[in-house]
Amino acid sequence: MSGITLDTVRKEFGSGEEAVLAVEDVDLEIEDGEFLVLVGPSGCGKTTTLRCIAGLEDVTSGRILFGDRDVTEFRARERDVAMVFQNYALYPHMDVRDNIGFGLKLSTQQSAAEIDQQVEDVAAMLGIEDLLDDKPKELSGGQQQRVALGRAIVRDPAAFLMDEPLSNLDAKLRSQMRTELQTLQHDLDVTTVYVTHDQTEAMAMGDRIAVMNDGRLQQVGTAEEVYRSPVNEFVADFIGSPSINVFEATVDGSRLDGPGGFTYHLSDASPVEGLDTVRVGIRPEDITLVDDGIPMVANVLEPMGNENFLYTTLGDHDITARIDPTKRPQPDETVEFAFEESALYLFDPDTGDALKTKDDGEIPDRGADTDTRPSETDEALEEAVE
Ligand code: ADP
Ligand code: MG
């Protein structure tokens, strides 16, 4: 077992005019036993990065290390990693037992009985021990995905590399499998790189999240860090649902003038010093409806039960607010809103770089071991038993 280091990893496909730069000089350190989620929009280079780690693609330049060992020139099977894909790719003619044990039979000197025991242990861990004699076509999507996981786990690899493994499952099963996978990964303590385009999944699962865009790594951090302190407007927009509201404002000293008569006086104008315009960001949950705030026009209200989503327009700009469920503005009603300056994000209009983020610098410190949830659950269980 070991951590994984990507040192200026670059991957180009093709050459000349047709060259595609899929991964651009990515530096990333994944800790031993960490669950790292690589997230970003479709085509941003997630799968290519994962395939480079797996040894299924040669890097154009840069190095990949497992622990201190440089594996850049190693072939896939020499790297001792197990991959799980969106398409489970089970062998249709083999039963579950053989599907799980197949890789072991090829790669180890163990006896059939030893392999069988390991297959049964892993099947029990995944709750599919009753399905060992079934063929894949007899299984549900979730069961098939468990078999694919079992095949990866039984090999006891140095790392798990997972590429959108839950994408084919329906929403309910997906969220159940997310929790199961997290618990399993925590128990097995195997370094895991998990690829998804779904920021909700990334936020829910990762010890840390690595956000990619257009072949470039944007930011690596805990869910809280990337949410509260995004390095740029792309990350701010990509992380969080509904998305952050962003509009352009002109800067006049400490005064910001935005669409629809939006005016705001910053108590601290240092982030916008020297700028003519700035991109202003406010997360939907930071908007409060008040009696004497900035006016905007209500369009659609979506009741969520515990809160309401309110879609409004501020001048020519759409604004989404998450508001108190007791507040129900009517369509075309003018409502007024306010927000705390501490919740405000400001971005450079040219580079997109963050100039100010929410509670700048005040990220709650969760300590070195960021994922303590399963052990807390264990403690709670032990207490409950006593
Ligand atoms: P993601 O997994 O984030 O959706 P990919 O890593 O699959 O993105 O792709 C990143 C970019 O590299 C895309 O522009 C894609 O078209 C390109 N690409 C991926 N694989 C190949 C390939 N084998 N040949 C040429 N271009 C590729
Ligand atoms: Mg992909």
CATH number of the domain to which 284 belongs: 2.40.50.140
- Regarding whether 335 and 204 lie in a shared domain, the answer is no
As a whole number, mean pLDDT of residues 231-249 equals: 97
Clarify whether residues 137 and 223 are in a common domain.
yes
pLDDT score at 171 = 87
For 84-110, what is the mean pLDDT?
A: 88
76 pLDDT higher than 70:
yes
Instruction: Kindly indicate the confidence band of residue 125, based on its pLDDT and cuts at 50, 70 and 90.
Output: confident
CATH number, domain of 181, equals 3.40.50.300
Report which ligand 1 atom has the smallest distance to the Cα of 212.
3
Query: For residues 108 and 103, what is the distance between their CA atoms, to the nearest angstrom?
Result: 8
Cβ < 6 A, ligand 1 pocket:
13, 20, 22, 40, 42-48
Give me the pLDDT at residue 371, please. 43
86 band by pLDDT with thresholds 50, 70 and 90: confident
The secondary structure element, H or E, covering residue 241 is none
Q: Which of 41-55, 110-124, 173-187 has the highest mean pLDDT?
A: 41-55
pLDDT for 384: 43
Residues 212 and 255 in one domain: no
Give the chain's domain count. Answer: 2
Domain co-membership, 22 together with 139: yes
| Same domain assignment for residues 348 and 267 | yes
Dist. CA 234–CA 215, nearest whole Å: 13
Closest Cα to atom 20 of ligand 1: 48
Backbone phi, psi, residue 347, to 5°: -125, 145
Residues 214 and 327 placed together within one structural domain of the fold: no
- For residues 70 and 95, membership in a common domain is answered with yes
Pocket test residue of 11, 21, 48 for ligand 1, highest count of atoms within 8 A of CB: 48
Q: CB-side exposure of 247: number of CA atoms within 13 Å?
A: 21
Is the predicted pLDDT of residue 136 greater than 80, yes or no? yes
Q: Are residues 258 and 214 in the same domain?
A: no
Q: What pLDDT does residue 173 have?
A: 85
Report whether pLDDT(221) > 90: yes
- Tell me, in angstroms, the distance from the centre of ligand 1 to residue 246's CA: 29
| Integer Cα distance of 371 and 37 in angstroms | 13
Tell me, in angstroms, the distance from the centre of ligand 1 to residue 10's CA: 13
Q: Which of 6, 9, 13 to mutate to test the pocket of ligand 1 (most atoms within 8 A of CB)?
A: 13
- In a domain? residue 385: no
* pLDDT over 50 at 340, yes or no: yes
Q: Is residue 335 part of a domain?
A: yes
Domain assignment of residue 269, given as a range: 244-356
Within this chain, do residues 208 and 131 fall inside the same structural domain, yes or no?
A: yes
- Shared-domain flag, residues 300 and 216: no
Radius of gyration in angstroms for the set of CA atoms belonging to the chain, rounded to a whole number: 24
Residue 268 has pLDDT above 70, yes or no: yes
Q: Whose CA is nearest to atom 7 of ligand 1?
A: 47
- Residue 372 pLDDT greater than 80, yes or no: no
User: Quick one: pLDDT at residue 57?
Assistant: 97
Asked if the model's pLDDT at residue 361 lies above 70, the reply is no
Which residues have C-beta under 5 Å from ligand 2, the single-atom ion? Answer: 47
1 pLDDT tier (thresholds 50, 70, 90): low
C-alpha–C-alpha distance, residues 128 and 342, integer Å: 50
**pTM of the predicted protein model:** 0.89
The ligand 1 atom at the shortest distance from the C-alpha of residue 14 is: 25
Percent of the chain with pLDDT over 90: 80
* Rounded-to-integer distance, Cα 262 and Cα 344, Å: 14
pLDDT average, residue stretch 25-40: 98
Question: DSSP state, 353?
Answer: B
Instruction: Please name which ligand lies nearest the alpha carbon of 45.
Output: 1
